Structure 1
């Protein structure tokens, strides 16, 4: 049986991994000539936002309760929406796919362990 804490940790891990992939895609677009966004501030901003989502995923993986947890969930969804929009404007379709996976990870991270649910089993 899958426990809620396992889903939460899996979601945070998926979020961190997908954000790392997003950062790699953005770095590739930023540094590789002929991508159309080489050296642009928008591409650099996407690198930074993807790294921020990576950091949020790692923190969510280590912490599964409290104000910081919920603040990172909310800020994570806002970060995903903004980075997804930036991927759209930069025509980076793989980055948009990575952000969709980050969003799935965030949704899975919402299934955190509840002490009353565990005691009832």
Structure 2
């Protein structure tokens, strides 16, 4: 059964947050006087946001609760690692984007459990 738009909302929020984080990290990497331009840390933040975007695209396509739960844990680890890297880089807007991504992950989990429960009548 195909997923409705509300069931994919969490993955969409996660995707948008990772794209915004990617754009901010890209700006910080290439713009002089950001304090992190050309650094390995900013490059890692760029790559981590790309990985999170790909994971967000794959999340709605996964079948089975076990696979989705493992994927969610990997996404959570990616969000936490990127958040920590952004803290070390003093890139606060990337931190905000990762918190929004976490909200998207929580939405995905909440909407999946809500639709999986049978209706009590």
Residue 8 of structure 2 corresponds to which residue in structure 1? 9
Counterpart in the other structure of 2:37: 38
> Deviation at 1:6?
4.8
CA contact (8 A) 1:13 1:61 kept: no
Gaps of 5+ in 2: none
TM-score calculated relative to the size of structure 1: 0.86
Runs of 4+ with >6 A deviation: none
- Deviation readout 1:59-79 (Å, 9 max, x if unpaired): 113335343322210011111
Q: CA RMSD in A?
A: 2.0
The answer (yes or no) to whether the contact 1:15–1:57 under 8 Å persists in 2 is: yes
Number of residue pairs aligned between Structure 1 and Structure 2: 116
- Which structure 1 residue ranges, 5 or more long, are not aligned? none
Contact 1:7–1:108 (8 Å) recurs in 2: no
More divergent stretch after superposition (91-100 vs 65-74) = 65-74
2:118 matches 1:117: yes
Could you say which residue in structure 2 is the equivalent of 1:63? 62
Whole-angstrom CA distance in 2 between matches of 1:96 and 1:39? 19
Matched with 1:50 is 49
Alpha-carbon distance in 2 for matches of 1:25, 1:64: 32
